[in-house]
Structure 1
Amino acid sequence: PSPGTLCRTKPTDLVFIIDSSRSVRPHEFEKIKVFVSRVIEALDVGPNATRVGVINYASAVRSELSLQGPQSKAGLLQAVRGIQPLSTGTMTGLAIQFATSRAFSPAEGGRGSAPNFKKVAIVVTDGRPQDGVQDASARARAAGIEIFAIGVGRVDMGTLRQMASEPLDEHVDYVESYSVIEKLTHKFQEAFCVVSDLCATGDHDCEQVCVSTPGAYRCACRDGFSLNSDGKTCSACNGGLGSALDLVFLIDGSKSVRPENFELVKKFINQIVDSLEVSDRQAQVGLVQYSSSVRQEFPLGQFKSKKDIKAAVKKMSYMEKGTMTGQALKYLVDSSFSVINGARPGVPKVGIVFTDGRSQDYISDAAKKAKDSGFRMFAVGVGNAVEDELREIASEPVAEHYFYTADFKTISKIGKKLQMKICVEEDPCECKSIVKFQTKVEDLINSLQQ
């Protein structure tokens, strides 16, 4: 497992309650099954570990998988692949009632009120139910079932709040379409993690120093060494260029972004610029916008202060056409980081690619070339951005170099995670690495904000 992602899952009775009503198209139902499968893949499955059940509902309720069903991950995944949609109405309350009275019962493999086992239901729905959910949900919660409610598309948000456990901000999720529901996988993988000291138990592969974080860990290095890109091994420092950094933003200006969201993107850029030390000897910033074509807004080093960079970002006009991400990545490699465009030889190069949809051209070659050239690439996706493309753009370890949010309004949160701390010591070895990006891990966020 990659550093930072290994965790043990709590023994849980987990039941998915999935809406397959008429409004859920067959290809969308397949996306739900992928989401369910991805969550299962991260669990410790077994008779004494986590058991998984699946309830499929529309006008009627069907138990597809009971808690006493397959006790192996492979068996569960095979069963999920075989589930077919019911394609009738939306009786969400009935489905929750069925979960409480049947799915979590000892007869179906539920482990009752045993203190070491959690009871969790994950409801996925895309519409307004044709029955009441409030009473059924209250009874479920009173029975010790923790309910997560995921709404898709034109779902009624009030209904989700009636279903979900407290605190609501941790138990209610919304995605714009089924095509992006898979993005919630990571949240639920984390939700089932046991908070344990994986460093103490030896469940890590750090070469020098293991730092425990809630339910996971990260690797670090002793003084005089810096962490390699694999996130595990360390190399002796050889001195360097202190806090120098060449950073280029590659921004999607396609029609799907929409003008009001493009303004939020500009705020996102300036949020990161605010965290830099900008000067000839420290950070330089360049900006490229792309849609059907590529336009350099300003090259590295043109502006010598944060104030001037932010003013130029605010003035950037919106291109509003297609999404040629591959062409833009090629421009980044061939032009943005060239000496003629202000790049400094020997200075670390960082690219932050922002996109909201599937590329209309081929990205693989340019994405690979960027990383092979030694550029550290971060991929930020919003809305209908495609996870496979984000992963292809992102540097290793991928989980630390790509970010996704379903809604433009929340990209400022990603901005906080991406803010950089530039080392100011003359000897960069004192800093472990020249640039650190904030991650979701709380202790690292705190250390970077000091």
Structure 2
Amino acid sequence: TSGLMCYEFTFLLTQLQKCKSGPVDLVFLIDSSRSVRPHEFETMRKFMIDILNTLDIGLNATRVGVVQYSSQVLQLLASLDAMVKNINQIIPLAQGTMTGLAIRYVMNAAFTAEEGDRPKVPNVAVIVTDGRPQDRVAEVAAEARERGIEIYAVGVARADMTSLRAMASPPFEDHVFLVESFDLIHQFGLQFQDKLCAIDLCAERKHDCQQICVSAPGVFICDCDEGYTLNEDKKTCTHMDLCNTVEHGCEHQCVSTPGSYYCVCPEGQQLQEDGKSCGTCKSANIDLVLLINGSKSVRPQNFELVKKFVNQVVDSLDLSPHGTRVGLVQYSSRVRTEFPLNMYHTAEEIKAAVMKIEYMEKGTMTGLALKHMVENSFSEAEGARPASRNIPRIGLVFTDGRSQDDITEYAKRAKEAGITMYAVGVGKAVEDELREIASEPVEKHFYYTTDFTAISNIAENLKLNVCPEESQGEIEVKDPCACESLVEFQQATMSSLEQLTQKHILSK
């Protein structure tokens, strides 16, 4: 038997305008069981020919195949210049109604490359039947739809509506048709022509646009996200280097990112509030809690990169019991405090603990992690300094995907609680979620990269430190207990004064 065949009509020019649907691979499955009477089968022939005469058929346009089924399947044989003749010569099989068998045949034989099916071209099957299938159709039809075949189910007279809905693609109001008799089947033909002409090639995913597909009737064009330009192949996109196209104003260096840019400073200096100039302000003390995503989408090898990212951040901080404190929380489908703020006091201790963390490998409950951070991580019980001491509280969320729960409430509560929030995303992280988590100005607190291997660059440019004059953490800095050298100096001075007094050198 021959598979899906292409027929070019050079005859029967009608007054109907040809449907410019773009490339489509179309197969008719026609019921030729014994319940279909001879005059009804003749009406079905005319129905197919009428539809074919409205289509733009050709090697690079619409390709058409016809399959009749009963208790067996028969693929129609025809030459390019004799399709109508061959349709008129179909002899009904006049047996049972094995619709499931027909669908499987179309899926496994007709819509294959060997039989003429084209990649990235919509596959459309039209099933016409007048009875209830004698075999199972739901499972095989679902499999066909999963393979990208769009199925129209047309029932005539005695057809079973439940079976039609089990076969058809959703939405059913566009793909299921029930007509009273074969004489009225042309009504479906008119509606089908309209729908076929309006096939959304983007929605059918029959395109190879790298970023954005814009659909028009029968055609599509590719476009790019903001910050990218379309290449000459009209499909792929290239990241625009905004540093070379805008007045960025960076004092030292401009780094371009997709759709944006940021400024960086030389080693030993920090980016100032204006996001452009550099300064040498000393780090203030902070309470920092990191929330890292340990979901299965991260993958074990990337989780090791995440831990190295955390340790790079730790290396940039001035850690001590009376200085900066760091706590770490891992989250997936649940949340686990790996260590609280008051557990480790040196960079070496924290980095060793980070490398021992075990990967959780489950879901992505970012909202639950934010709730845990707000309610637990910054509590005095877990080592956060009292709010009255005005030590800046900073939360950093690292994620690689969309949250499976709502983040809105606790992203808002965190900022209302005075926590400065940073959001770092990689890969499939959702920009809108990251921006919702980040504190204002968002551009200063939001970082994203497409590749895990690039997160080390983020760690180098991430400025979590707060200048003393910008915070009110001086209370902690000026804690006399932390100024051991000053206390020693004062004690030594008092001792010397007492000795001099005893020798009457300073007596009145």
Larger radius of gyration: 2
Answer 1 or 2: higher relative contact order, Cα 8 Å, separation at least 6.
1
TM-score (norm 1): 0.48
